[in-house]
Each structure stands twice: as C-alpha cells, then as structure tokens.
Chain A
Amino acid sequence: MIPRYIGIAVLLFLPMPILIVVLSSFTSAGYLSFPIKGLSLRWYAEFLGSADWLRVLGTSALLALIGAVVSTGACFAAAWAVVRHKIRFGATYETILLAPLIFPHAAIGVIMIVTLSSLGWLGTFSGLVLVHCILTIPYAYRPVAAALRKSDAALEEAAASLGARPWRTFWMVTLPAVRPGLVTSLLFTFIISFDEVTVTLFLVGPFVMTLPVQVFSEVLESASPIIAAVSAALVLFTSAMVFILDRVIGIQFFVERD
C-alpha cells in the first residue's frame, strides 16, 4: 500500500504554486521573484489602472458570459431531445457533444483557424464566441442532462393533465427542477471559457485579445509582477464564484455521475 503521508504531501503540494503566485503578486520589486522582497499593492494598482488590461478583462468576461449562456441553452435543447424525447441515436449524439473533451486542443486550434478564416471570422470576437461554445459544450451538457434525467417526467405530465400548456409547464415545473444543473453549467462554462488559453492562442489577433492569452504573452516578453497580480485576481474571482454558488444552489451535479 502507498503510505498515507505521500497522499498528504501531494495534497499539500498541489496548491503550492497558487500560493506562490498570490504571494509574489504583493512584491514591491519590479520583477517576478520568490521569496518576495517587500510588501506592496502597487501591481494591483497598475493592473486596475491600465486601460489595456481592463479592456482584455472586459473582452474575456463578455466572451465567457455569451459562451456560457449559448452553450447552456444549446445543451438544454440537446439534452431535452435525448432525455425526454429519447431520440434515436441519442447515445451517439451525446458522445459527439462530449468529444471536445478528448480532442487535442492543438488540433482544435488548427481546425478552427481553417474554419474561421473560411468564414472570415479569424481574429474576431464572433469567432472566439463560436470556438468557446464548442469548447465549453461538454461541460454544459453533463450537468444539464444529469439534472433532466433526475427530474421526473411525470411532473411534466402531471402539469399537462392539470391543463398547463407546454410553456407554462416549462416555466413552472421543468425549469425549477433543473435549475441546479443549469447554474452548474453556467458557472463551469463561464470559468472554462474565461480561463481558456490553448485554443484561443491560435485565434486572437490585433483586434481581439483575451485576458489569459494576454497574461501568457506578457510572460513571454517580460517578468512583470503585474502578471502575478492579474493571476491572483483571477484565482480569487473564480474561487469566490464557486463558493457563493455552491452555498446558494449547490453544484453537486458536476461531480455526480449521470
């Protein structure tokens, strides 16, 4: 058997890099280093005072928001057809929807360059939206389909037998039942899109740039501690979102098997 202390060591080790990034963001020095020289908030001030950084932050947030809503909506429609209407080849469609999970990101990047340039969308915001939807769909489909499977179709039939038209049934019965799944989907697709680097790297251009890709290119050019400040802000923001939503609605669906 593996000794217990190895497991504990691994668990303690995993968050270490995050801790280091957060700590080094408070440095007063002009370059990235660890341990830090002096304590200051100057890199946070620089981040929030920079129009460039705020612009890419805005782009990333909008991109993630649109991506989350579109892929959650699309996955709800798909899961509805597979789970409720039990369409033929439903299992095959599910596999296709989950495929981006196992497809190499570099390959997706190349495929998308070709696809977007033939659409004339290369280096545009719309192009990024399309790609981010494709990338986030697996993360949306799992929780939405699981929630639909878990909610009893008899509830919808009961509503119909009581005279509720399809839309009323949808709003009053289906939606409340699958809400935790939808929230989980929105949350995770938002985070995945907000953090996405590998594929986006192929597709950004002079007119559109996302926050994580900007961080990446900054790292290549300089070692400014502003990168640590941006990263620390991202970590804080993501954890806060997960924590709040878990408290309010519960996000058990993502881990649970469907």
Chain B
Amino acid sequence: MARDNTPAEPILSIDHVTKRFDGAVAVNSVSIDIMQGEFVTLLGPSGCGKSTLLRMIAGFETPTQGRILMRGEDMSHRPAYDREIGLVFQNLALFPHMNVFDNVAFGLRARGRTDGLQAKVQDMLALVGLDGFDTRRTGQISGGQRQRVALARSLVTQPDVLLLDEPLSALDLKLRRQLQTELKRIQQETGITFVFVTHDQEEALSMSDRIAVMNAGRVEQFSSAVDTYHRPATEFVARFVGETNLLRGQVQAASGGRVTLKLDNVTATVTAPAGDTSLGLGTDVAISIRPEHMTLGTDQPIAAQVLSHSFSGATITYALDSAAGRLLAQVPFQPGGGHPLPAKAPVSVGWTDTAVTLIPGKPGRS
C-alpha cells in the first residue's frame, strides 16, 4: 500500500457527507480519504447507504451536507459527465442496442479520444479476456462475459477512480471467485483506484486494501482488511465481519496498557490490550474472540457442552453451550485426532489473551 510511505494528498476525499431522502438519513456524516491506487471496499448490510454514497461520488446524487473532493478539488457543482469517475452498475447497464465493441468504445467516443480507438478497445478486451467478442450483441454473451464488458467499458477511458456497485453479486459462486481474482489483477495492472461495494464480508476481506464497514448510514470502521477482522472497533463490525464470540463484562482493573475484566455470567477474568482507550473501573465493555482463536480442551476455564458441529475440510467448528452463553470454537481437523466430538460431549473452552479484542461501549449496542 502506497499510503504508508507517501503522505500525499488523497485522490478522493469524502468530507462529512450526509444524504437525506425526504427526511430519512441514507448516509450520515461519512468522512473517508482514499489514496491513489488503493482498493477500498464499502461493506455493509442491505440499505446501509453504500449505493447512495457511490452515487454521490459519481455525481448522480447531491450530498445534503458535506463535500466530495477529488485531488483536493470540490466536486459539488461538477456534473457526472465531467468527472473522471467510472461506474460499474449492479445490473451492468450495458447498452442493449450496441455490440461489445461499441459498448467499450462509447466512453472514448464520448470524450472525443478517437485516436487509436480500435487498438485501445482491442487491448482492453484482451485485458478482460474477451478477445474476438467485438461484434457480439450484449444479449448473446454469458453473465460473466457481460460483467467483463461492463468492466472494460469503464476502464478504457482510464478514470481516476472506478466505482463498482456489487458487480459480482448476480454471479454463481465459482464464477464469482474467479472474477474476484481477475478484478484484483486488473486493478493492480491498471493502477486505477477502485471503490468496491459489497455486502459479502469474505469478498471484502480477500480483495481490499482497506475496508469501510457501514451500518445505518455511518462508517463504523475504516481500516485495513487485517485490522477490520482482527481489531473490530465496534460490536457491529465484530459481528458483521466474520463469525465471532462476543462476551460482555466490566472493567475490574486497568494498568500498563492492559485491562482486566470481570465477565458477566461467568466467574472468569480476562486481560486484554486496552489499545488507546482509557477505561474507568466498572465501565461496561465487550470482548470479541474469533472462533479460530478459541481453545478446546478439558482444562480450560469455561465449562461447556457440544451442541453441534460443522465440518469444512481443514477445520471443524463446534457450537457450544457454556455458562457464558453460546460460543463457537473452530479447531484444525486431523483424521484420527478424536474429532468430531459427539453432541452433548462435555468440554471446556478458553482463549489466549492476545487474540482478544476489547470493544468499549454500552452493552446491547449494535
């Protein structure tokens, strides 16, 4: 990631942007900076405002409040056709009355860049793996191929930023995985900044440099893919990105950058890195521990009972009933290693303190 060593100006700045539709808030005071060449994902559940934010960046909606800047220049009064921003629509919006070549050539012709048009279009079709498809009608190609045409059409004009609104959600899983890899390769080859929208957390984690997790119009966390998963800042992020175990408790002691918690329901204490937050004694906090960081055994602090298991090849995940509530524990699977444990088998669970993420805030907030 270039941003770590170049303190350069962001290519795209979203500055306290709010959008209201007839009083209902769709996007709520969002501020994020996106750097040149980054692959940023907006991740969130349906209706959280991802498309609305994207449409404001593209120039199809006007923010109710706040500004959108490109290379420091305010875009507020610039019409969509005058922004160097490409957009791949969820339903693709290929021009039905044009063939593949004319679809891809549209942007170059519209911008009057017709020098070497033929070659540019052919190169772009080659980049997305569609050599020889130029004269096909858009109705005569498969879903994955239509996807590639949409991508080629937006990329050929070399926009500063390419916005992609759930471009893969209509495809089946296998094709989806394949196109994810390809999208990432194309992004790296072209060096174009991508802002990608999805509600699939796995897709977000595998593709992004940074992820903005959105909930009800707000950005809850904007951080690297690794931090989004391993250092969730809110309970919502912890729950939405991957599976997790959330336990609630109160601060019992805090010293030397670590806090000790007294957990609800269980008479156990954990110590966790406090991060930058300073927490008073007795404050309500939650901790998040990923299922793969749970330890399953017979000498762990919390007694539990196996409810069920699911096997996924390399690992096996147990749903457990414990004094601390329902917990998930994922362990490596080795043939002959005694797994899977039968239902109702008594076990005990624990975790290593370093895998615990402390989430300040009121219990029940999500």
Q: Is the CB of B86 within 8 A of A162?
A: yes
The CA-CA distance from A158 to B59 in the complex, in Å, is 11
The CA-CA distance from A161 to B86 in the complex, in Å, is 6
The CA-CA distance from A157 to B81 in the complex, in Å, is 9
Q: Give the residue name and chain of the B residue nearest to A154 (CB).
A: B93
Q: Is the CB of B157 within 8 A of A177?
A: no
* Residue of A152, A166, A172, A176 touching B106 (CB-CB under 8 A): A172
The CA-CA distance from A165 to B93 in the complex, in Å, is 17
Q: How many residues on A have C-beta within 8 angstroms of the other chain's C-beta atoms?
A: 19
Contacts of A155 in B (CB 8 A): 93, 95-96
Closest beta carbon of chain B to A178's beta carbon, Å: 11
Contact indicator per residue, chain A 144-174, by CB within 8 Å of chain B (1) or not (0): 0000000010110111111111101100110
Contacts of A152 in B (CB 8 A): 91, 93
Q: Is the CB of A157 within 8 A of B87?
A: yes
Q: Is the CB of A158 within 8 A of B93?
A: yes
Q: Give the residue name and chain of the A residue nearest to B110 (CB).
A: A164
Contact indicator per residue, chain A 106-149, by CB within 8 Å of chain B (1) or not (0): 00000000000000000000000000000000000000000000
Contacts of A163 in B (CB 8 A): 81-82, 107, 110-111, 157
Interface residues on B, range: 20 to 34
Q: Is the CB of B110 within 8 A of A159?
A: yes
Q: Is the CB of B110 within 8 A of A154?
A: no
Contact indicator per residue, chain B 36-56, by CB within 8 Å of chain A (1) or not (0): 000000000000000000000
The CA-CA distance from A169 to B96 in the complex, in Å, is 14
Contacts of A162 in B (CB 8 A): 81, 86, 106-107, 110-111, 153-154, 157
Contacts of B82 in A (CB 8 A): 163
| A158 and B96 in contact, given A164-B81, A164-B106, A168-B110 (Cβ under 8 angstroms) | no
The CA-CA distance from A8 to B153 in the complex, in Å, is 55
**Chain B residues numbered 41-88 whose CB sits less than 8 Å from any CB in chain A:** 58-60, 79-83, 85-87
**Chain A residues numbered 184-212 whose CB sits less than 8 Å from any CB in chain B:** none
Q: Give the residue name and chain of the A residue nearest to B102 (CB).
A: A172
Contacts of B154 in A (CB 8 A): 161-162
Closest beta carbon of chain B to A26's beta carbon, Å: 46
Contacts of A160 in B (CB 8 A): 59-60, 79-81
Contact indicator per residue, chain B 286-314, by CB within 8 Å of chain A (1) or not (0): 00000000000000000000000000000
The CA-CA distance from A165 to B106 in the complex, in Å, is 12
**B97 within 8 Å of A (CB atoms):** yes
Q: Is the CB of A154 within 8 A of B80?
A: no
**B333 within 8 Å of A (CB atoms):** no
Contacts of A157 in B (CB 8 A): 58, 60, 80, 87, 89, 93
Contact indicator per residue, chain B 139-169, by CB within 8 Å of chain A (1) or not (0): 0000000000000011001000000000000
| A161 and B87 in contact, given A155-B93, A173-B95 (Cβ under 8 angstroms) | yes
The CA-CA distance from A176 to B95 in the complex, in Å, is 10
The CA-CA distance from A162 to B110 in the complex, in Å, is 7
Name the residue among A158, A159, A169 with the largest chain B CB count within 10 angstroms. A158
Closest beta carbon of chain A to B150's beta carbon, Å: 8
Name the residue among A166, A172, A176 with the largest chain B CB count within 10 angstroms. A172
The CA-CA distance from A168 to B106 in the complex, in Å, is 10
The CA-CA distance from A157 to B111 in the complex, in Å, is 15
The CA-CA distance from A137 to B200 in the complex, in Å, is 49
Contact indicator per residue, chain B 82-126, by CB within 8 Å of chain A (1) or not (0): 110111010101111100000000110011000000000000000
Closest beta carbon of chain A to B72's beta carbon, Å: 22
Q: Is the CB of A161 within 8 A of B95?
A: no
| A161 and B97 in contact, given A154-B91, A172-B106 (Cβ under 8 angstroms) | no
The CA-CA distance from A166 to B59 in the complex, in Å, is 14
| A165 and B97 in contact, given A154-B89, A159-B110 (Cβ under 8 angstroms) | no
The CA-CA distance from A45 to B81 in the complex, in Å, is 60
Closest beta carbon of chain A to B337's beta carbon, Å: 53
Contacts of B110 in A (CB 8 A): 159, 162-165, 168
Q: Is the CB of B81 within 8 A of A165?
A: yes
Closest beta carbon of chain A to B177's beta carbon, Å: 26
| A161 and B91 in contact, given A168-B110, A176-B97, A177-B96 (Cβ under 8 angstroms) | no
The CA-CA distance from A172 to B82 in the complex, in Å, is 18
Contacts of A168 in B (CB 8 A): 110
Q: Is the CB of B80 within 8 A of A161?
A: yes
The CA-CA distance from A163 to B154 in the complex, in Å, is 10
Closest beta carbon of chain B to A163's beta carbon, Å: 4
The CA-CA distance from A159 to B83 in the complex, in Å, is 12
The CA-CA distance from A177 to B94 in the complex, in Å, is 12
Q: Is the CB of B87 within 8 A of A159?
A: no
The CA-CA distance from A164 to B113 in the complex, in Å, is 12
Closest beta carbon of chain A to B312's beta carbon, Å: 38
Closest beta carbon of chain B to A58's beta carbon, Å: 36
Q: Give the residue name and chain of the B residue nearest to A156 (CB).
A: B93
Closest beta carbon of chain A to B34's beta carbon, Å: 17
The CA-CA distance from A154 to B82 in the complex, in Å, is 17
Closest beta carbon of chain B to A162's beta carbon, Å: 4
Chain A to chain B contacts (Cβ below 8 Å), 10 pairs: A154-B89, A155-B93, A157-B93, A158-B87, A158-B94, A161-B58, A161-B59, A163-B157, A168-B110, A173-B95
A sample of 10 more A-B contacts (CB under 8 A), given A157-B80, A157-B87, A172-B95, is: A154-B89, A158-B93, A162-B81, A162-B153, A163-B110, A163-B111, A165-B110, A169-B81, A172-B106, A173-B95
Q: Which residues of A contact B (CB under 8 A)?
A: 152, 154-155, 157-166, 168-169, 172-173, 176-177
The 4 closest A-B pairs by CB, nearest first: A162-B107, A164-B110, A154-B93, A158-B93
